[in-house]
């Protein structure tokens, strides 16, 4: 996944989801979507993609990044058909889109550069610092192996001990 995100960062020169969408001519349409955070839609007649996002959610960038994950990873798949046929495959595709979004919005360099400020932060504080959902922080910290053995063994301690 990291290599796919690296290719996107290299191609577009940014991790700003609005700029990436603009370069791809993907329209972002904030709408009231009920319990859905967002979805990627392809209009075959016009050969365009749209990202619908729930106008009520706080962190719209993560949802847009998640939908870009579907665009870069799954755009050839009919996800509506998959959702009706296989919940395990749907869950896998959603997890992949979440990982893509986490990698896009929180690069390893961003964490490394912020270490002096976040090294004693809780996961919740790190999520607030980076303005990302807690799930993105969980993924990135475990992916970068930043959690100490003590933190992994004792989940009641909610602080990070960052080490490389």
Residues catalogued as catalytic: 67
Listing DSSP states for the chain in one string gives: -HHHHHHHHHHHS---HHHHHHHHT-EEEEE--TT--EEEEEETTTTEEEEEEETT-S-HHHHHHHHHHHHHHHTTS-HHHHHHH-HHHHHHHHHHHHHHHHHHHS-HHHHHHHHHHHTT-BHHHHHHHHT--HHHHHHHHHHTT-S-HHHHH-TT--B-----
């Amino acid at each position: 996944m990291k290599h796919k995100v690296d290719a996107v960062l290299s191609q577009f020169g940014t991790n700003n989801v609005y700029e990436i969408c603009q370069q791809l001519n993907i329209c972002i349409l904030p709408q009231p979507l009920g319990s859905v955070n967002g979805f990627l839609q392809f209009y075959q007649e016009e050969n365009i993609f749209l990202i619908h996002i729930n106008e009520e959610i706080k962190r719209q960038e993560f949802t847009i990044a998640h939908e870009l994950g579907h665009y870069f990873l799954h755009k050839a798949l009919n996800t509506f058909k998959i959702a009706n046929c296989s919940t395990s495959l749907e869950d896998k595709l959603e997890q992949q889109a979440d990982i893509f979004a986490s990698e896009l919005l929180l690069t390893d360099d961003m964490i490394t550069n912020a270490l002096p400020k976040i090294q004693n932060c809780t996961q919740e504080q790190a999520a607030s610092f980076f303005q990302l959902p807690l799930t993105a922080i969980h993924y990135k910290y475990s992916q970068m192996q930043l959690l100490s053995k003590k933190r992994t063994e004792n989940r009641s301690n909610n602080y990070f001990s960052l080490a490389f």
